[in-house]
Amino acid sequence: MIDLHSHIVYDVDDGSETIEQSIEILKRAEKAGFTKIILTPHYMEDYYEVPSYEIAKKIEILKEKCKEEQIDIELEQGNEIYITNRMVSLLEDKEASSINQSRYVLFELPMNDEPANLLEVIYQLIENKKIPIIAHPERYAYIQKDPNRLLELIEQGVLFQTNYGSLAGQYGKEIQKTAKLLIEHNFIHFLGSDVHHEGYIYEKVPEIKAELRKIISSEKIKELTTINAEKVLQNQEIEIEMPIPIKKSFFNIFFKK
């Protein structure tokens, strides 16, 4: 498996604080069956602004430490960028990174209020031959209210990544329900841990995959956990299944409290 979204690089954001913590997390990832991890520390203007070359140095140190500890995981560089109108320039200036220097760019949105500049940012990325990947849409309050908002974005070429933790109920039942609904209706193209600390999420992955088999095929699970992420790393095109619009009547029943 390939983890598309993680905060394992030490001392750069709100994730791992020390190299020792990073190594402990990587050991757990290997035990869970991950063979590659894309390291995506936050880049948030005026808050987390560690430039790409500094991240690259820390990744090289982590790679050496993995060899010493006999941890058989490949580490690749990226960022989870907080939405900004300057995203293209941040990438061009190498302040922030696409995934493994590919066209694919992982970014996140505000949790509660839909950003007014979302379509503009997506347009800028696509105009500059970038492929947007939006992190954990199930966690955004405005998507929970109406998941069909993602349809227009997918039509424009946006891809979406859901957190394993969302499926495990880490962020609450409503987010868990939204994550499952999005996956069932082909709105999601990748799974990622979004791991920040040693926590339990990697240990939960086998159980989460077992639950997923109840709603999607084993082939689809492999796409979400491995195949699509490998295509990102190789800078290849990803063929997606068309999303199935969610009937509002069904959604209202599904989320009835």
Domains of the chain plus CATH, in order, are: 2-254 (3.20.20.140)
- What is the Cα 242 distance to its own chain's centre? 20
Q: How many Å apart are CA 155 and CA 126, to the nearest integer? A: 12
Per-residue pLDDT, 257: 43
Which class for 35: exposed (0-12), middle (13-18), buried (19 or more C-beta within 10 A)?
Answer: middle
Per-residue pLDDT, 93: 97
- What is the Cα 162 distance to its own chain's centre? 6
Q: How far lies 81's CA from each of 6, 66, 240, in Å?
A: 12, 26, 23
Nearest C-alpha neighbor of 111 from the set 150, 140, 147: 140
- What is the Cα 64 distance to its own chain's centre? 25
Per-residue pLDDT, 251: 57
Q: How many Å apart are CA 8 and CA 13, to the nearest integer? A: 9
Report the SS3 class of residue 179: helix
Instruction: Going residue by residue through the chain, which has 257 residues, state the pLDDT in tens, using 9 for 90 and above.
Output: 999 999 999 999 999 999 999 999 999 999 999 999 999 999 999 999 999 999 999 999 999 999 999 999 999 999 999 999 999 999 999 999 999 999 999 999 999 999 999 999 999 999 999 999 999 999 999 999 999 999 999 999 999 999 999 999 999 999 999 999 999 999 999 999 999 987 779 999 999 999 999 999 999 999 999 999 999 999 999 999 999 999 876 555 455 44
The strand order across the sheet containing 2-3 reads 2-3, 36-39, 74-77
Per-residue pLDDT, 249: 61
